[in-house]
């Protein structure tokens, strides 16, 4: 394995770091102040559109897509350090560079599985940052960690599909710019193969029968920058059969293809979040005095900072190894490593941010510093993309196969 980055990647890293320091980080407070004056909390602050325009001008746009026909043409290994940099400001930087979930996963699905019409109608405006999207899979009535449990029905009726079901925590669906939802449901609920019962269809948000019922909170946050996490009801929603993505029964396989890159993107951004927490921890330690000496001279603070640095370096190497394997042997060949980073990274980053919060005291849980919001985001990723326990179960089974 050679993790030396080529000249193009190093040049992009330098440009993206400068973009973060010169534009994104200073915009955090501006965006907060602008949002407070908006007519609706779901509207986009003007500074976000300014950041998007600047990112496009600098060529820092759609960096996540490996297909050069649509994106920057970077490998997973090349994109990994760039995703880490954007993780320093997870509310603004991914959106500013058009590399924000759930749009990234939806664009990958359309690029890989969509037909020409679907790509023209939905992928192109997503690539241009003109619209947003959502991915509707999770349901409140079942354990959605097992995707075969979903109960939403997608029933064929002549030249149309009729979609009936209730979804929640549908990220992005509160955003007024959200125009399209990719909905996963069952086209063959009684089929003998439980992994061939599901399909995915494209449902425009303004289709009759689609009701965005409410915004779901995450640790009290509504995640306005991500477009919220909505509860959405589909009441006999009719869409053309041509809105099917791929083939009937292909939904489970498409979901798995979507999640591989998504997990590594999340993990690299998490490392960026940890780096931001370490930076904040160090700044606090050298600026505050307690019990007669600076916090930076307290032994326990030394331990927290040292442990955080060691942990981040370990995580980064594991994630880079995973990215390299995805590029060289494919997602299936990197299956164990993808699960390993999904288990290890959120758990460790939550611990690092928690220590930073402790160092900040009351300020750490306040809105005056980004730590509380970083913590909420990192902790949520122990559930998102499949809870850690699901991945532990699968990984352990692979390990045990050798001995059975």
Of 202, 357, 212, 194, nearest to 274 (Cα)?
A: 357
Alpha helices in 230-334 (DSSP H): 251-287, 299-333
Taking alpha carbons only, the member of 161, 166, 207, 208 closest to residue 187 is 161
Query: H or E element: which one contains 161?
Result: strand 160-171
Quote the pLDDT of residue 237. 98
Residue 168 backbone dihedrals phi, psi, to 5 degrees: -145, 170
Render the burial of 61-71: b for 16+ CB within 10 Å, e for the rest: bbbbbbeeebb
What is the per-residue pLDDT for 70? Answer: 85
Q: What is the pLDDT of residue 74?
A: 94
Instruction: Dig out the tokens for 240 from the structure.
Output: 């053309």
Q: How many CB atoms lie within 10 A of CB 387?
A: 16
Taken in order 261, 267, 269, 271, the sign of the CA dihedral is negative
For residue 237, list its beta bridge partners: 163
Mean pLDDT score of the chain, rounded to an integer?
A: 95
- State residue 154's pLDDT score: 98
Q: Looking at 54-159, which runs of residues are DSSP E strands? A: 132-136, 153-157
pLDDT at site 4: 66
Question: What structural domains does the chain harbor?
Answer: 7-114 (1.10.540.10), 132-245 (2.40.110.10), 252-401 (1.20.140.10)
Q: What pTM value is reported for the model?
A: 0.94
**DSSP bridge partners of 212:** 232
> Which burial class, exposed, middle or buried, applies to 166 when counting CB atoms under 10 A from its CB (0-12, 13-18, 19+)?
middle
E strand spans, 92-217: 132-136, 153-157, 160-171, 178-186, 198-204, 210-215
Query: 3-state DSSP call for residue 219?
Result: coil
Confidence at residue 48, expressed as pLDDT on a 0 to 100 scale = 97
Q: What is the pLDDT of residue 67?
A: 78
Cα–Cα distances in angstroms (integers) from residue 45 to residues 32, 81, 369, in the given order: 8, 27, 19
Give the pair of three-digit tokens for residue 158.
């002549």
CA 275 to CA 11: how far, in whole Å? 20
Which residues are CB-contacts of 82 (< 8 A; sequence separation ≥ 6)?
9, 12, 13, 16, 63, 74
Q: Would you state the pLDDT for residue 3?
A: 61
Number of neighbouring beta carbons within 10 Å of residue 149? 12
CA-CA distance, 168 to 191, in Å (whole number)? 25
Question: Strand pairing partners for 231?
Answer: 214
Distant-in-sequence, close-in-space partners of 18: CB < 8 Å, separation ≥ 6? none
- 8 A C-beta contact, residue 234 and residue 183: yes
Regions of the chain with pLDDT less than 50: none
Q: pLDDT tens-digit profile of 92-111?
A: 999 999 999 999 999 999 99
Token pair of 376, please?
Answer: 């909420």
329, 337 in Cβ contact below 8 A? Answer: no
- The bridge status of strand 293-294 relative to strand 289-290 is antiparallel
CA quadruple 239, 241, 245, 249: dihedral sign: positive
Give the pLDDT confidence score for residue 152 in this predicted structure.
98
């Amino acid at each position: 394995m050679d993790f030396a980055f080529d000249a193009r990647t190093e040049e992009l890293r330098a440009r993206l770091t400068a973009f973060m320091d010169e534009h994104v980080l200073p915009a955090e407070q501006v965006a907060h102040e602008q949002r407070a004056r908006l007519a609706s909390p779901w509207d986009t602050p003007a500074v976000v559109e300014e950041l998007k325009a600047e990112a496009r001008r600098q060529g820092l746009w759609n960096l996540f897509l490996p297909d050069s026909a649509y994106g920057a043409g970077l490998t997973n290994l090349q994109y990994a350090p760039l995703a880490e940099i954007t993780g320093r400001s997870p509310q603004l930087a991914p959106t500013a560079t058009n590399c924000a979930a759930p749009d990234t996963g939806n664009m990958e699905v359309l690029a890989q599985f969509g037909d020409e019409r679907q790509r023209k109608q939905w992928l192109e405006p997503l690539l241009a940052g003109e619209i947003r999207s959502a991915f509707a899979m999770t349901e409140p009535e079942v354990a959605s960690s097992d995707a075969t449990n979903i109960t939403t029905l997608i029933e064929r009726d002549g030249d149309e599909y009729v979609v009936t079901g209730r979804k929640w925590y549908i990220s992005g669906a509160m955003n007024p710019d959200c125009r399209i939802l990719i909905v996963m449901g069952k086209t063959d609920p009684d089929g003998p193969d439980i992994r061939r019962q599901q399909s995915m269809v494209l449902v425009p948000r303004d289709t009759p029968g689609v009701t965005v019922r409410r915004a779901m909170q995450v640790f009290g946050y509504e995640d306005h920058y991500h477009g919220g996490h909505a509860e959405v009801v589909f009441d006999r929603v009719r869409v053309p059969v041509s809105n099917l993505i791929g083939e009937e029964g292909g939904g489970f396989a498409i979901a798995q293809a979507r999640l591989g890159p998504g997990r590594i993107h999340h993990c690299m951004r998490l490392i960026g979040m940890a780096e931001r927490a370490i930076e904040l921890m160090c700044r606090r330690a050298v600026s505050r005095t307690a019990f007669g000496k600076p916090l930076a001279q307290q032994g326990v603070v030394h331990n927290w900072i040292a442990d955080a640095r060691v942990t981040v370096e370990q995580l980064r190497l594991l994630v880079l190894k995973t990215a390299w394997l995805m590029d060289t042997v494919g997602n299936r060949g990197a299956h164990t490593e993808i699960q390993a980073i999904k288990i290890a990274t959120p758990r460790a980053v939550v611990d690092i941010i928690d220590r930073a919060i402790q160092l900040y005291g009351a300020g750490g849980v306040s809105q005056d510093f980004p730590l509380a919001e970083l913590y909420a985001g990192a902790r949520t990723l122990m559930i998102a993309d499949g809870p850690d326990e699901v991945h532990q179960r699968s990984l352990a089974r692979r390990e045990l196969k050798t001995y059975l």
